[in-house]
Structure 1
Amino acid sequence: MDKPIQKSRTILVINPNTSTHMTNALIPILDNLGHGGIKFDYFTAPASESVKLPDGCVIHGVPSIDSGEDSVRSAFYCMPFLEPLVTEYDGFIVACFSAHPLVGMLKEKVRSIEDEKVESVPSDMKVQKKYVTGIFEAAVLAALGVIGSFHTTKGPGFQKAQSRDTFGIISTGKAWEAELTQAVADMLGASGNQTSRFAGVETTGLTAEELHTTPPAEVKKRLVEATERLIRASPNPVGAICLGCAGMVGMEDAVREGCVRVYGRPRGNQVRIVDGVIAGAGMLATACKAGF
């Protein structure tokens, strides 16, 4: 019996800053993943436009998102350009490693479209869903997936306990240390801003833009050193590290070197390095095909 032909799905990868070279760096990475039946398109925040907010304030595109305030500003700026595109795509990845409001804005728009479809189609027909994620959310979920495991424990009877492994984040400017720490706690529902599964955030001191304008040797040095600091500061084993910026795509080797310097080669090579862009693409590809 012939297998049913699966419909091709399209996913829009959104760079909410105006730096086209950051977007261009993502294209070969995602196109080479081999997600059959999935087509990736790309959006970069326009550099020469302006957006007027309801309060009358006029804002422009953000060339480099280097704080929580920048992520909010870029969300308000990008949404008017993205809103007409929501009906055209099956999935959306917000390629900024932050608690980016654009993820929530797009999800609200998707829900309103799905609600309208539910009202207009027969009750026995399934409404095709759309999916949204940010690379921050995707990376945290992927990291938890690779470090999480239950083990048996010594003692009377049959007992089990969760692995002590943690995950951490290597990001850009120092402002992200508190911002991302709080975002992880909020996402995981932790009390305060701490969770036992999270090793914390270390930063390079470079902006997202400077990752591509600073000499590569200096960028690598800072990534290695930030990774070393992260691991040495953690009281529990670090089993996964998230690349905390879309601009870090392709920089896994520097993070790996930092792991090896602290843990030695065998154990350092076992630390999982999570790219949120790749994690988000895989998550949405699966969701589109499965119809979650």
Structure 2
Amino acid sequence: MVKLLVVNPNSTQSMTDEIRTSVERCLGDAEETQPPVIAVTYMTGPQGSPRQIDGLESSRESCEACLPLLQDPSSQYHYRSYDGILVACFSDHPLAAAIQALPAAPLVVGLLSCSVAFSSLALGRPFSIITSNAEWVAILDEQTQKFLTTDTISRSLWRGTVSTNLQVLELHNSSNFNRIAQRIEDYNIARLGSEVVILGCAGFSGMQYKLTNMLGGKITFVDPIVLGFQTLVTNATFLATERRRCE
């Protein structure tokens, strides 16, 4: 049994529930063709974590709140209890690097890095990010450049970040859906010429199907939660299998 931990580093349980829904949909698809061999635990940021992560300061605060719980051997979330950990915040979140720096750390997957790699290398089409509040635009633009390959063609595919001008917790309010879709159509597609749009916030989780229907299949939407979890499963399963073969 491969044991995985999905960490929502903010303290909003409803966001963890949305993340769980997306992950369990992935697991349901996999279990139709093979027996369940993956156990997933979900962690919501403890007291002291911000309700939403809207920039660098709240990212730092959430890391400082979550890390002690992950390091506590008596906690059910102790990092060494797992074969892999997904940090479910769309950014180069400091918690990912903090876990990786711990002794005997498991595989750690961040949402931004795997989404950029997939969009630029696997899909190979012009891509951009849609995010929540405007503060993220400059941050994600800078962080994305860090993860792009040095290949000129891959870098030319990157078109930039667009803000919905909504706060994270406003994204799943159904009254805002048309506004989000219109923003994508006007800016990501028409202005930036994107063929792929990364849903750059965990608050968008599960929205890709409705957006695809709304926009008539004009573009491909990447849900980082789905992609990140599938990346975690593939790599953690491989590493766990190889390690046990050597024992």
TM-score, normalisation: structure 2: 0.84
- Note the residue ranges of structure 1 that are not aligned, 5 or more in a row: 1-7, 48-59, 115-129, 149-164
Alpha-carbon distance in structure 2 between the residues aligned to 1:72 and 1:94: 14
How far does the alpha carbon of each residue in 1:108-151 deviate from its partner, in whole angstroms, 9 at most, with x for none?
A: 11xx226xxxxxxxxxxxxxxx2101112222222224422xxx
Instruction: Identify the match of residue 225 of structure 2 among 277, 280, 283.
Output: 277
Q: What residue in structure 1 maps to residue 136 of structure 2?
A: 176
Q: CA RMSD in A?
A: 2.1
Alpha-carbon distance in structure 1 between the residues aligned to 2:115 and 2:63: 20
Instruction: Identify the match of residue 166 of structure 2 among 201, 206, 210.
Output: 206
Query: Where do residues 250-261 of structure 1 align in structure 2 (5 Å cutoff)?
Result: 250-256=206-212, 259-260=215-216
Q: What residue in structure 1 maps to residue 245 of structure 2?
A: none
Q: CA 1:257 to 1:223, structure 2 compared with 1: closer, same or farther past 3 Å? A: farther
TM-fit CA distance, 1:211? 2.0
Alpha-carbon distance in structure 2 between the residues aligned to 1:65 and 1:244: 12
Alpha-carbon distance in structure 2 between the residues aligned to 1:25 and 1:274: 16
Q: Which moved more, 1:245-254 or 1:94-103?
A: 245-254
State yes or no: 1:222 paired with 2:194.
Answer: no
How far does the alpha carbon of each residue in 1:149-207 deviate from its partner, in whole angstroms, 9 at most, with x for none?
A: xxxxxxxxxxxxxxxx311111100111111011100122669xx93121111111111
Q: CA 1:184 to 1:199, structure 2 compared with 1: closer, same or farther past 3 Å? A: same
Instruction: Identify the match of residue 61 of structure 2 among 47, 55, 73.
Output: 73
Q: Which has the higher helix share?
A: 2
- Secondary structure of 1:46's counterpart equals coil
Q: What residue in structure 2 maps to residue 133 of structure 1?
A: 109
**Percent of residue pairs identical:** 28
Aligned length: 225
Alpha-carbon distance in structure 2 between the residues aligned to 1:64 and 1:28: 19
For 1:224, give the aligned amino acid.
Answer: A
Alpha-carbon distance in structure 2 between the residues aligned to 1:144 and 1:166: 8
Alpha-carbon distance in structure 1 between the residues aligned to 2:210 and 2:134: 19
TM-fit CA distance, 1:230? 1.3
Alpha-carbon distance in structure 1 between the residues aligned to 2:181 and 2:209: 9
Alpha-carbon distance in structure 2 between the residues aligned to 1:190 and 1:181: 16
Kindly indicate whether the alpha-carbon contact (under 8 Å) linking 2:84 and 2:232 is maintained by their aligned counterparts in 1: yes
Q: CA 1:190 to 1:174, structure 2 compared with 1: closer, same or farther past 3 Å? A: farther
- Note the residue ranges of structure 2 that are not aligned, 5 or more in a row: 31-35, 73-77, 243-247
TM-fit CA distance, 1:239? 2.6
State yes or no: 1:186 paired with 2:146.
Answer: yes
Kindly indicate whether the alpha-carbon contact (under 8 Å) linking 1:220 and 1:254 is maintained by their aligned counterparts in 2: no
Query: Where do residues 88-103 of structure 1 align in structure 2 (5 Å cutoff)?
Result: 88-103=81-96
TM-score, normalisation: structure 1: 0.71
Which one has the largest radius of gyration?
1
- Secondary structure of 2:4's counterpart equals strand
State yes or no: 1:242 paired with 2:198.
Answer: yes
List structure 1 runs of 4+ shifted beyond 4 angstroms: none
Tell me which of the two structures has the higher relative contact order, counting C-alpha pairs closer than 8 angstroms and 6 or more residues apart: 2
